[in-house]
Amino acid sequence: MLIDTIKGDKMKKLFTIPALLILCINLFSQLEQHQVYVTNIEVPIRVFDKGTFVNDLTLQDFELYEDGKLQKIEALYYINQDQIQRTDLERDFMPFTGRIFYLIFQMTEYNPRLAETIDYLFEHVLLPDDSLSIVTPLHNYNLSPDARKRLSQEKISEELNGLVRKDTMTGGANYRNKLRDLKRMTRSLSGTSNLSFDNETSADSQMGISIQLERYMQTLEELENLRKTNVNFFLSLASNLKRQSGQKNVFYFYQREFTPQIPSRVLNNMMTLYQDKPNVQSRLQDLFGSYHRNISVKVEPIKRAFADSSILFNFIFMNKRPETTSGIEMQEQSEDIFKILTEAAKATGGIIDNSQNPLAAFKNVTKLTEKYYLLYYSPANYTKDGEFKNIEVKVKGRGYKIINKQGYYAK
């Protein structure tokens, strides 16, 4: 019995140790689950009263909400360009106000006024410590601080203007060629609406109407593929800029696009003219469908990625009038990219400008963005749940226009 008792005590001890370990692990797990993280969120904000920046606000004037819950703002910095002009602090967060500029040009035709825009950038916007990157349809160019020390701003501006022009003309050559082909085909097809089916082979190098329609639709699809929105480009831009410190200013120049289409009255006439030709009717119906584009790009991931990266994304829409040519109807083809970039600008607190003059638009945007407030807060009960947190800022008792980034990912 003595031996059995000793064995029993040993067994109890052996079971007691694992039980304690399990208890400790459970307690540690519970503590880990309830651990509270502390993070500081920086919110650039611009406040306007009838188009004029309001520069006399204090910490007590603002209210900030995260996912609808009021947060305590701990610091306010009023900044002009890269200089802190005034502070209102409960705690100093010592922000880095160095500026990073990205100028992105998405266009297929070169606008001569872009040269004036780049000249204005060097003469009136860039400061000695600012960094600059230029993105063209073909290449990315980073202007090193050493280059700015060695070369005059006139020389740098001249070289960059040459690169932007060359890359735009080279990168857009295929697009412009497809566009010319479409115009030629559109004029030819518009002319067939006045022909009888028996005489169709006289049109466009003796090609039949059915073959012409097939060629037109193929070229239309090729043109659409050339201008298709590259979502990965925007997500990659957001990811790269998130890793950089400072105030990140992106200016996206986008040129309005039009596609040559057969006028609706001509299409209706062709439907009547070839109603006894099933193959032609089928092509025409396909063409009607292709003119109604489905915009499938998801805007929300781009908006949130840009806001999370603390980018100030400014959208400059380079407007232009559609050309007028007999037998061609130039239809707007910018609605997909326009929607994405407009929403991205709103999500970051950026400015949207619509002008036929890129220089005037750039001047306006830089003027509106050079002054801003930086607000800091530490979210209550912050957890790294990977979710997007929505930010709303108000000025107490005022009807001011407020633009700020819309949120961040808790990671």
The enclosing H or E element of 79 equals: strand 73-80
List of residues 6+ apart from 290 with CB closer than 8 A: 217, 220, 221
Output the DSSP codes for 317-356: EE--PPP-BTTBEEEE--HHHHHHHHHHHHHHT--EEEES
Please tell me whether residues 174 and 264 are part of one structural domain.
Answer: yes
In three-state secondary structure terms, 334 is coil
Report whether pLDDT(11) > 60: no
- Residue 298's pLDDT band (cuts 50, 70, 90): confident
Please tell me whether residues 29 and 152 are part of one structural domain.
Answer: no
Using the CB atoms, write b or e for 295-324: b if 16+ within 10 Å. Answer: eeeebeebbbbbbbbbbbbbbbbbeeeeee
Please tell me whether residues 296 and 180 are part of one structural domain.
Answer: yes
Please tell me whether residues 187 and 302 are part of one structural domain.
Answer: yes
Q: For the residues 81-92, what does the mean pLDDT come to?
A: 97
- Token pair, residue 211, equals 């073959």
Share of the chain above pLDDT 90, in %: 60
- Token pair, residue 235, equals 């997500």
Please tell me whether residues 272 and 191 are part of one structural domain.
Answer: yes
Output the DSSP codes for 40-106: -EEEEEEEEETTEE-----GGGEEEEETTEEE-EEEEEEEETTEEEEEEESS-------EEEEEEEE
Domain holding 149, by residue range, is 99-369
Please tell me whether residues 133 and 218 are part of one structural domain.
Answer: yes
Pairing between β-strand 311-318 and β-strand 352-355 as defined by DSSP bridges: parallel
Q: Supply the DSSP symbol for 202.
A: G
Phi/psi class of residue 5: alpha, beta or left (left: φ > 0; alpha: ψ in -120 to 50)? alpha
Helical axes 173-192 vs 264-273, angle rounded to 10°: 50
Query: Could you report the per-residue pLDDT of 144-188, keeping only the tens digit for each?
Result: 878 888 889 899 999 999 999 999 999 999 999 999 999 999 988
Query: Could you report the per-residue pLDDT of 326-358, keeping only the tens digit for each?
Result: 788 898 888 888 888 999 999 999 999 999 999
Whether 79 maps to a domain, the answer reads no
Distance CA 220, CA 144 (A): 41
Please tell me whether residues 15 and 156 are part of one structural domain.
Answer: no
Using the CB atoms, write b or e for 43-66: b if 16+ within 10 Å. Answer: bbbbbeeeeebbeebeeebbebeb
Whether 215 maps to a domain, the answer reads yes
Q: Which of 293, 284, 294 is nearest to 262 (CA)?
A: 284
Q: What is the pTM of this model?
A: 0.84
Query: Could you report the per-residue pLDDT of 94-148, keeping only the tens digit for each?
Result: 999 999 999 999 999 999 999 999 999 999 999 989 999 999 999 999 998 788 8
Please tell me whether residues 117 and 196 are part of one structural domain.
Answer: yes
Query: Could you report the per-residue pLDDT of 24-41, keeping only the tens digit for each?
Result: 444 444 444 445 576 999
State residue 192's pLDDT score.
Answer: 56
The enclosing H or E element of 100 equals: strand 99-106
**Residue 218 burial class via C-beta count within 10 angstroms: exposed 0-12, middle 13-18, buried 19 and up:** exposed
- Where in 136-193 does DSSP place strands (E)? 140-143
- Residue 66's pLDDT band (cuts 50, 70, 90): very high
CB 325 within 8 A of CB 191: no
Report whether pLDDT(270) > 90: no
State residue 377's pLDDT score.
Answer: 98
Please tell me whether residues 1 and 115 are part of one structural domain.
Answer: no
Residue type, 337: I
Please tell me whether residues 8 and 135 are part of one structural domain.
Answer: no
Query: Could you report the per-residue pLDDT of 221-239, keeping only the tens digit for each?
Result: 898 888 777 888 999 999 9
The enclosing H or E element of 76 equals: strand 73-80
Q: For the residues 182-203, what does the mean pLDDT come to?
A: 64
State residue 291's pLDDT score.
Answer: 78
Distance CA 320, CA 350 (A): 23
Whether 307 maps to a domain, the answer reads yes
Please tell me whether residues 6 and 141 are part of one structural domain.
Answer: no
Higher pLDDT, 8 or 255: 255
State residue 294's pLDDT score.
Answer: 67
pLDDT averaged over the chain? 86
Report whether pLDDT(2) > 60: no
Distance CA 135, CA 143 (A): 11
Highest mean pLDDT among 34-38, 62-66, 268-272: 62-66
Total tally of structural domains belonging to the chain:
2
Helical axes 209-226 vs 278-290, angle rounded to 10°: 20
Q: What phi and psi values does residue 109 have, to the nearest 5 degrees?
A: -125, 135
Whether 294 maps to a domain, the answer reads yes
Q: For the residues 396-404, what does the mean pLDDT come to?
A: 95
- Residue 403's pLDDT band (cuts 50, 70, 90): very high
Whether 124 maps to a domain, the answer reads yes
Query: Could you report the per-residue pLDDT of 139-154, keeping only the tens digit for each?
Result: 999 998 788 888 898 9
Please tell me whether residues 12 and 154 are part of one structural domain.
Answer: no
Q: Which of 283, 356, 346 is nearest to 314 (CA)?
A: 346
List of residues 6+ apart from 260 with CB closer than 8 A: 179, 182, 183, 186, 325, 328, 329, 330, 331
> Residue 16, Cβ neighbours under 10 Å: how many?
10
Whether 133 maps to a domain, the answer reads yes
| Residue 88 CA, distance from chain mean position | 32
Whether 380 maps to a domain, the answer reads no
C-alpha pair distances (Å), 12 with each of 9, 23, 30, 204, 278? 5, 16, 27, 97, 89
CB 58 within 8 A of CB 373: no
Whether 207 maps to a domain, the answer reads yes
State residue 22's pLDDT score.
Answer: 42
For the ranges 32-36, 53-57, 178-182, 287-291, the lowest mean pLDDT is seen at 32-36
Query: Could you report the per-residue pLDDT of 13-23, keeping only the tens digit for each?
Result: 433 444 444 44
Distance CA 76, CA 307 (A): 20
Q: For the residues 65-82, what does the mean pLDDT come to?
A: 97
